[in-house]
Chain A
Amino acid sequence: MGTPGLKADCETILGRFQETDSVRFEEFAAIWKDMKFSHIYFGGMRNLEMSKFAREALSVASHYFLPPYTFQIRVGALYLLYGLYNSQLCQPKQKIRVALKDWDDIEKFYQDLIGAQHLDAAYIMRQLRLSRAFHFTGMAEFLTFRSQRNQPRHVGREEFKDVRDRVQDLVTSETLEEMLNIHEHYQKTKCLISADKSQPDRSLSLVKEDYVPNLKQLLSEHVTWKLEKGKPRTKNDDEKEENEEEKEATSQESEKESSERAKTLARIKSKCYGAVTQAPKSRRHRQVLMASSESSSDCGGKNTQKSKRKRRVPRKTGTLKGAKLGKLTKKASQSKKNMPTIPEEDSTSSSSEDNFVPKRTRKN
């Protein structure tokens, strides 16, 4: 059974982070502190309860760290994992479970972070990895054949998800190229069997000549339309950004040969993280850091304070007091030579009245 409220709290912080239209860690940290999110571990949970809860919290957060969630939500989830991992009160810390099938996604995500110069996020990812915060597992969850069946599957908030784009899935730059090749080959073959070798006979004109360029055109229109539709809520500084984008877009059209998809990706990214990508590449990280160091000046002072988080272990000895003799089902007719039938006692229920079917009755 999941802890009530936990998933909702995680979605609240991610939702608020989404509203900032940013992937900056300081934005996230501000929300975290505003919500006093590390208090989520408070309330004097006992050790076992605490480690279970920490495990669950990390498990809930790590769902949002993977596709199908948007790049921005995934960055938010990375920060959330970082916060939850480091503020947990368990000793040793509970680990973030990563399944083998998800690792390539995470590696790619890390490369994207570095590629887009999101150094704060990349730094934190690296930091988690170096502090060995992960368990490298088969599956993200423990698989206990019976008991987990009735647990609900993870269903995350729709607006965090990357809208699946079947058009883009279907028509990639590779498939376009492939189609272009086939089309050329087709044209050549037609020429070869035609009277005029430089041009196919009119009778062979069965498909539209400009089939591939048309498809390409349609595709880029679709991408633009999608970008317009999925635009984040307009902010004051968004307008400036839009102008730049248009310029960018027109210049893009002139370079016909380069990969459409790579550009689309770059544009999608620049949308969410406009502030960063506007600056020339060489100055990008400076800009990020300058903006951050302003508001984080007060953090510097806190560095000296070491947080000691040691939980006292409530030492209770395992002696059982007043454990009564189990109530035994008396058998009216117990044959003389049989081994006694001993019902076993169960510990999980508070009542001691459990009736068991003893599995084995041995004969002498």
Chain B
Amino acid sequence: MDENIPVYEVTDANTRLIHLGSFGDLWRERLQSCDLTLAADAGPIQDNSYVAQDLGCTEETAAELRLICGVDALKCSENEEEDLENIPEDSSLLTLGIRKKIIDRRKETLIVERACRQETFLHELEFHAVGKRPEDAADMVDEGELVLTLNIVYPVIFRKHKEYKPYQTMLVLGSQKLTELKDAINCVSDMQIGGEFSNNPDLAPENICKDLFKSAFFYFEGVFYNDTRYPECRDISRTTIEWAESRNRGYGKFQSTKMEDYTFNDLRLKIGFPYLYCHQGDCEHIITITDIRLIHHEDCLDKTLYPLPIKRHWFWTRKCSVCSMYTARWVTVNDDLAPDDPCFFCDVCFRMLHYDTDGNKLGEFLAHPYVDPGIFN
């Protein structure tokens, strides 16, 4: 068997190493244009004459097959659309019996609203770009293109949820560069604004860490892929490589190369295996390719929308402790005027409470700009 046909290396965990581009080739050479086409309509291939040709039968037989094997042959009741919401009493299906019990139990509790809201959010995010076609034909995804599903874990450690780490999920095209993914990864630490600005809140800088510290790398299979697009980028993998090489630490030879020179199709990876993305010096994200597959005509077909986020962890937005309405923009400590320490304020309430009309600081406190993780929601 071809080495680029994925099989498990560790059962149910990860595959053996495959070259992603070759994997795509293997699929494409096995399939026909009717499988790969991204046209909205499959075309005349549904006609009886084509059926007859494919199955080696007469057109009359094909017509008969169409009748016998049609989807309607499996219709279970006349008015299916009316009964959708209810579970039929007479059903012999175990699944339905169990679902009925769950629904009945759910009705008794009040958590439904919240679950519903989160679910709607998740669903809308997952499907927001499904079926989108580009306005400009040049932005159309190519037929047979690879789509990768990536889970990118947030760098937050939960004491309570050792088993569960929040992550975001993105779809990336095989022909996209690693740098395109890098630019699409949202992380709160890219948004941080360092410093204390209680004496002059207007000076809180607009430029966030993402602009200040552009260095970052991906680590896949013994290779560091560094972002070297900007002059201020530094090879932050150097330290690790030198550390590994400085004594014989048994890590073998690491290599480092340029992130912007590689597309995903160029890589040799294991599906399901945890890799690394590191930026801001020490903000580390585990990255896993959970799936690779060929693009489908009902996917988002607008190239420009990739990398496409389809799942994000729902962060509760921290509200201003004065108005309880707007998302917090400031956090104060050692604040005589605040009920809590630290305490969160929206921009309006923060200024109203802490400064007079001339902008003079009232009382003692330290103020830091605050970036809420909920801004990604």
Contact = CB atoms under 8 A, between A and B. Distances in A.
A313 to B, nearest CB: 8
A149 B161 CA distance: 16
B158 A354 contact: yes
Contacts of B118: 347
Interface in B322-337: 324, 331-334
Contact of A307 (B69, B80, B83, B313): B80
B160 A355 contact: yes
Contact of B331 (A6, A99, A103, A342): A342
Between B12, B116, B334, B340, the greatest number of chain A beta carbons within 10 A of the residue's beta carbon is seen for: B12
A148 B13 contact: yes
Contact of B92 (A35, A300, A307): A35
A44 B85 CA distance: 4
B296 A132 contact: yes
Interface in A40-99: 40-49, 51, 82-83, 86-87, 89, 92-93, 95, 97, 99
Given A119-B65, A316-B117, A325 B34 contact: no
Interface stretch (A138-146, A163-171, A191-199, A202-210): A138-146
A302 interface: yes
B316 interface: yes
Contacts of B351: none
B203 interface: no
Contact of B156 (A82, A303, A356): A356
A3 to B, nearest CB: 6
B189 interface: yes
A314 to B, nearest CB: 6
A96 to B, nearest CB: 11
A229 interface: no
Interface stretch (A218-226, A263-271, A326-334): A326-334
B271 A143 contact: yes
Contact of A126 (B8, B30, B51, B283): B51
B57 interface: yes
Given A48-B119, A120-B69, A347-B316, A145 B274 contact: yes
Interface in B1-24: 1, 5-8, 11-15, 18, 23
Nearest to B189: A360
A122 B119 contact: no
A38 to B, nearest CB: 5
A134 interface: yes
A38 B74 contact: yes
A148 B166 CA distance: 15
B98 A145 contact: no
A308 B291 contact: no
B318 A123 contact: no
Given A83-B74, A285-B57, A36 B342 contact: no
Given A42-B86, A124-B69, A49 B189 contact: no
A235 interface: no
A278 interface: no
Interface string A299-312: 11011010111010
B6 A100 contact: yes
B54 interface: yes
B96 A26 contact: no
B81 A309 contact: yes
Interface string B98-123: 11100100000001001011111111
Given A92-B298, A307-B75, A354 B93 contact: no
Contacts of B57: 119, 285
Interface in A340-364: 340-342, 344-350, 352, 354-357, 359-360, 362, 364
Nearest to A144: B290
A100 B27 contact: yes
B104 to A, nearest CB: 11
A347 B314 contact: yes
Interface in B63-84: 64-78, 80-81, 83-84
Contacts of A249: none
Interface stretch (A175-183, A252-260, A289-297): A289-297
B26 A100 contact: yes
B68 A138 contact: no
A311 B84 contact: yes
Given A135-B294, A302-B75, 17 more contacts: A8-B94, A26-B73, A36-B93, A39-B87, A40-B96, A92-B130, A92-B298, A101-B5, A132-B296, A149-B13, A151-B12, A305-B72, A316-B117, A316-B120, A356-B157, A356-B160, A357-B158
